[in-house]
Amino acid sequence: MMTIKATELTKTFGNFTAVDHITFAVQKGEIFGFLGANGAGKTTAMRMLCGLSKPTSGEATVAGFDVRTQSEQIKKNIGYMSQKFALYENLKVWENIRLYAGIYGIKGKEIGKRIDMILEQLGFEKEKNTLVKELPLGWKQKLAFSVSIIHEPQIVFLDEPTGGVDPVTRRQFWELIYQAADRGITAFVTTHYMDEAEYCNRVSIMVDGRIDALDTPKNLKYQYNANTMDEVFHMLARKAKTAKS
């Protein structure tokens, strides 16, 4: 089953084509890496998929809903987390969880259970009453991820979730993504860590608004005769016609 399906999806701003006829599909439970240089069009594409911006042309369905007409339903069925916006720093850990549970319409009794479940899963029982701003960055990001999937969405969009996180926590974070994927939640991830690209089931690389490569990391490395995804990325990104603007 396909949870995301984009066909010739395009977005233009004036003369500038940010996203240029991209076509791809993501399966349920897949971890899909969405890579590209700064300004290659990742953010614009992701906004369209989240129902935040309307495509100029082309079609896309997310969780079975049309991004053009059913953005409200889409928002109910996806989770979103980015490095920039995640949690409320001045709320305690459990208050943040309760807040998001409330936002996603989880009912009274169930909220308490979810809070305990998440705290246990992350090993945060002791930090229940800690203000989020006092947590180390890596912990915040793990909590933000758990909160973003509190309503068991079909898909979770992760926009550079691990930037600046220490190596150990970064890996624990990916273990959380794996657990979610095992439960059938599709993860749509952007990252600048190329080793993380290897953790994805499949990876797409955007260059100048187009998807220039899409396959498993293994196949991509084979195809480009490279040892690491880093090399693959550099080979593709160098082809960019604009000077990385």
Partner 1 sequence: MLKANNISKKYKTVQALSHISFEVGEAEVFGIIGPDGAGKTTLFRILTTLILADEGTATVDGLDVVKDFREIRNRVGYMPGRFSLYQDLSIEENLNFFAKVFNTSVKENYDLVKDIYQQIEPFKKRRAGALSGGMKQKLALCCALIHRPTILFLDEPTTGIDPVSRKELWQMLRRLKEQGITIIVSTPYMDEASLCDRIALIQDGVFLKIDTPDNIVAQFEGTLWGVSADRMSSLLQDLRKEPGVLTAFTFGDTYHVKVDPMKIKKKELATKLEEKGYQEVEIKEIAAGIEDCFMELGVNTKMN
Q: How far is the CB of 61 from partner 1 (least distance, A)?
A: 27
Under rule CB under 8 A, which residues in 62-91 are in contact with partner 1?
A: 83
Contacting residue, 113, 175, 184, 223, with partner 1 by CB under 8 A: 175
Q: Is 217 in the site for partner 1 (CB under 8 A)?
A: yes
Query: What is the spatial distance between Cα 169 and Cα 162, in angstroms, rounded to a whole number?
Result: 9
Q: Is 102 in the site for partner 1 (CB under 8 A)?
A: no
Q: Near partner 1 by CB under 8 A, which window of 9-17, 68-76, 103-111, 162-170? A: 162-170
Cβ proximity to partner 1, 60 vs 211, nearer residue: 211
Sign of the CA dihedral with 152 first, then 157, 161, and 167 last: positive
Q: Is 38 in the site for partner 1 (CB under 8 A)?
A: yes
Under rule CB under 8 A, which residues in 136-155 are in contact with partner 1?
A: 136-138
Contacting residue, 59, 160, 212, 215, with partner 1 by CB under 8 A: 160
Tokens standing for residue 97:
């969880």
Contacting residue, 68, 76, 192, 210, with partner 1 by CB under 8 A: 192
Where on the phi/psi map is residue 49: left (φ > 0), alpha (ψ -120 to 50), or beta? alpha
**Cross-strand pairs, 2:** 27
User: Which amino acid, 243?
Assistant: A
Beta strands in 103-167 (DSSP E): 155-159
Query: What is the spatial distance between Cα 163 and Cα 137, in angstroms, rounded to a whole number?
Result: 9
Tokens standing for residue 148:
């973003």
Contacting residue, 72, 109, 168, 241, with partner 1 by CB under 8 A: 168
Q: Are 215 and 184 in contact (CB under 8 A)?
A: no
Cβ proximity to partner 1, 64 vs 163, nearer residue: 163
Cβ proximity to partner 1, 60 vs 87, nearer residue: 87
Cβ proximity to partner 1, 1 vs 243, nearer residue: 243
Using only C-alpha atoms, the chain has a radius of gyration, in whole angstroms, of 18
Q: Is 171 helix (H, G, I), strand (E, B) or coil?
A: helix
Contacting residue, 66, 193, 215, 224, with partner 1 by CB under 8 A: 193
Contacting residue, 107, 183, 238, 241, with partner 1 by CB under 8 A: 238
In order, the DSSP letters of 64-112 are TEETTT-HHHHHHHEEEEESSS---TTSBHHHHHHHHHHHTT--HHHHH
Binding site for partner 1 (CB under 8 A): 36-40, 83, 136-138, 160, 163-169, 171, 174-175, 178, 182, 192-195, 198-199, 217-218, 228-230, 233-234, 237-238, 243-245
